[in-house]
Amino acid sequence: MDNIEQHDEMGIVSGSVSLRFGLPADGGGVDLGSVMGELRDASLRCFGEVYGLQVHHDCQGTGPCVEVFEVTAKCGTVFVEAGATPDVVVVSAETAVLDQGEPTSRADARAVVRELLETTLRFLSSPERRRREQRDVLHVGERTATERADALFCQISRGADRARELRLIVRCTDLTTLEGDDTAGRVRVLCAEARRPDPFDATVGPTAAVCVYPAHVALAAELTKHSSVKVASVAGGFPAGLSDLEVRLADIRHAVAAGADEVDIVLNRSLFLDGRTDAVTAELVASREAAAGAHLKVILEVGELGSLQSVADASRLAIAAGADTIKTSTGKTKVNASPDTVFTMAEVIAEHYQLTGKRVGIKIAGGVRTADDALGYVAIVRSVLGPDWLSPALLRFGASSLVSNVVEDLATVDAAVQLPNNEGAPLGTPSLSSQNSIASSP
């Protein structure tokens, strides 16, 4: 909003900004009538209480009359009209200053105008994303899914069951370092911890894998050979996934050639949110081919998808394109894994298994730091997918600090219950829900 203009007159603060779409291939302009109809229908969500949408004509000057769409809301008024060229619209907003004698009131009014302009611009700028968001708002199952996920997340095991599950979590963790200052020394320490997570108890671990950038794959492969620890590498333009596709594919091939057993790539959220799912699928299929025989994990970046419905759609798309595992997050955004997103992903995996008989893994990453965090996610996976998913082949945690926290917790639990240092009985029992659980295979 660099070209915003603001005016203060007679107790009214107003501002305007131009939005350019770029002409489509057919040279057509923006259908303002259609766009504003959608804005009217979505106004309750965008502006709070809305009093109405009007269309009038501005016939000032010697030029042709301009059609102006006016949305009046409790906090102010927004005007949208065609610009000087077919691919430009002009958005204006105004609101009243409640107390003209107070500088803070005028500043508050300017903040309201700016918010109205930004909200309208976001709505107008991406038709595909706008329609997806409107559809997602109407999705009725999200509240129920969130409530069920939160309830399961709280079902944390205690005593001997807790000890067994903590050992499982260690064995299912991709011990990770993905920082710009990663060095060979840090990777050596990472691999040592992966092979022996608990220096006091050799029966704990090892972890499922170490996860590093492609530049450190060769070293990690050398340091973990002759062990069960896999080498996972982020690739494909991690974490944004917006570099040129050929660059991303070369990144994947390089990681595999360097010795990566597993590759964690990112779903192109830009294409997905713009509704270009065919392009997303094509990229993922190409990435699947570039990964060759390596285990492919597709990161959805759930915190950027906007709704549980989008999480489900992205999960289905990634699985259909050949993902071996779907993963919640990169850990590089403000919003990461959550009980409801993990629950939603697990339900899609269960649906896929019921339809095809093929098991797809789930990796929970981003913000999983404490033993209770991980145990809550184990409870969700057990309930939705059943005990077959409670193994490193199908369940992973991506974390840097989780393992040390789990090991510390495990030592306390072992001491309290005097649990022998062995795996114990199989974890969990099949879910009783006919819709969401999967019976164990023979």
Question: What size, in residues, is the chain?
Answer: 442
User: In which element (H, E) is residue 250 found?
Assistant: helix 245-258
Task: Give CA separation, 20 vs 87, 119, 412, in Å.
Answer: 6, 16, 61
CB atoms within 10 A of CB 62: 5
Catalytic residue among 251, 261, 264, 340: 264
Ramachandran class of 49: left when φ > 0, alpha when ψ lies in -120 to 50, beta otherwise = beta
User: How big is the CA angle at 162 (ends 404 and 325), to the nearest 5 degrees?
Assistant: 70
Contact 23, 87 (CB under 8 A): yes
Q: Confirm whether 264 is a catalytic residue.
A: yes
Q: In what order do the strands lie in the sheet containing 5-9?
A: 5-9, 12-20, 88-96, 76-82, 66-73, 50-58
Task: Give CA separation, 374 vs 46, 212, 273, 379, 412, in Å.
Answer: 36, 21, 29, 9, 17
List helix spans (H) across 259-401. Answer: 269-273, 277-291, 308-320, 339-356, 371-385
CA distance 344 to 356: 18
The residue behind tokens 């489900």 is 312
Catalytic residue among 174, 261, 324, 363: 363
Task: Give CA separation, 433 vs 154, 333, 417, in Å.
Answer: 18, 34, 31
CA distance 166 to 371: 7
- Residue 266: name the closest of 306, 290, 299, 291 by CA: 299
Question: Residue 29, CB half-sphere, CA atoms under 13 Å: how many?
Answer: 13
Catalytic residue among 174, 327, 373, 414: 327
Q: How many helices (H) and strands (E) does the chain have?
A: 14, 14
CB atoms within 10 A of CB 338: 23
Q: Confirm whether 297 is a catalytic residue.
A: no
Mapped onto helix, strand or coil, the DSSP state of residue 113 is helix
Give catalytic residues, as residue numbers.
Answer: 264, 327, 363
